[in-house]
Amino acid sequence: MKWSLAKRAAASWAMALAVLVAATAAQADIVIDEFSERTSPWWPAALSAGGAIGITDTGLTTVPGGVRTTYLTYSTGDIPGLDTVGAYIFIAAGPPAVDLLEYSSTTGAVGGLSVRYAGASQGALVLDLSGAGFLRIDLAGYDAPGSQPMPFSVLLISDHGGANQQSVNLPGQVVAAGAQPLFIALNSVPSNVDFANINLLEVSFYDLPKGTDFRIDRIVATAIPEPATVALLGLGLGTLALGRRRKR
């Protein structure tokens, strides 16, 4: 009888896990950018005094809406003219192919970096994120003196320029050095945004600590935080089933 109950419990957990896996597979990730293309002749970008610069890459075949605009900002510098901030898109032929958007600053400069996707004209981009629960930003690396936190945010606008325009700004923070995925829950801030009709998406890193260097490998909208979530759920359910068996 004990074995029968344990087997039934294990079968129930396995069925729940299978349903979750199937649901996850049904909702494909939406790749926003893998930084495998650049078309603007103005790369690399660099600033050595206060201000901002925007670089627009057009005709992109791997980016929703075909257009990406990258904004580099220089806020303050200990030694203007010598302290700098910079950004560049590295495209590697591979293998392995490692395409990256990199931001870097000298030890006296504070700046920021934003990446905007809005199509060639207002309302031209139409992203359906209604089936996505998270935006994932894959960092290939992050380094700052003393591993200072790095704030970032995600701006989403629906019906851009229309009568029903709505927007939401979702905040986040990088708190550890090294390569890591960053997750932003799309419903983490209450809003009236129509996630089935997103016309502008912008990822911004701002007030970056002096001497910061980070690299973005990929931006993707996904139904769940990461594949490891499924594995963790399986481990948790298995542990629970084992615990029940021992108690009996």
Confidence at 3, pLDDT banded by 50, 70, 90: very low
Could you tell me the residue ranges of all domains in the chain? 1-27+226-248, 28-222
Rounded to 5 degrees, φ, ψ at 215 are -135, 130
Lowest mean pLDDT among 29-38, 140-149, 193-202, 219-228: 219-228
DSSP letter for each residue of 108-173: TEEEEEEEEE--SSTT---B--TT--EEEEEEEEEE-GGG--EEEEEEEEESTTSTT-EEEEEEEE
Kindly report the average pLDDT of the chain as a whole number: 84
| Each residue's pLDDT tens digit, 99-157 | 999 999 999 999 999 999 999 998 899 999 999 999 999 999 999 888 788 999 999 99
Give the DSSP letter of residue 246. H
pLDDT average, residue stretch 57-74 = 97
Residue 245 has pLDDT above 60, yes or no: no
pLDDT average, residue stretch 54-78 = 96
pLDDT average, residue stretch 186-190 = 93
pLDDT average, residue stretch 52-66 = 96
Check: CB of residue 78 under 8 Å from CB of residue 14.
no
- Residue 192 makes CB contacts below 8 A (sequence gap 6+) with 166
Q: What is the pLDDT of residue 232?
A: 41
Pick the CATH number of 28-222 from 3.90.320, 2.40.50, 1.10.1740, 2.60.120: 2.60.120
Q: What is the pLDDT of residue 4?
A: 54
pTM for the model stands at: 0.80
Cα distances (Å, whole numbers) of residue 5 to 28, 233, 238, 242: 36, 21, 14, 11
Lowest mean pLDDT among 22-36, 83-97, 101-115, 188-202: 22-36
Rounded to 5 degrees, φ, ψ at 3 are -65, -35
Report d(CA 174, CA 142) in Å as an integer.
9
Q: What is the pLDDT of residue 229?
A: 45
Q: What is the pLDDT of residue 106?
A: 96
Q: What is the pLDDT of residue 28?
A: 81
Residue 8 has pLDDT above 70, yes or no: no
What stretches of the chain adopt beta strand conformation (E)? 30-33, 45-47, 51-57, 68-77, 85-90, 100-105, 109-117, 134-143, 150-158, 166-174, 180-185, 198-208, 213-222
Residue 158 has pLDDT above 70, yes or no: yes
**Could you tell me how far CA 47 lies from the centroid of its own chain?**
25
**Of 144, 156, 162, nearest in space to 184 by CA:** 156
| Each residue's pLDDT tens digit, 26-40 | 458 999 999 999 999
Per-residue exposure over 138-152, b if at least 16 CB sit within 10 Å of its own CB, e if not = bbbebebeeeeebeb
User: What is the percent of the chain where pLDDT is above 90?
Assistant: 68
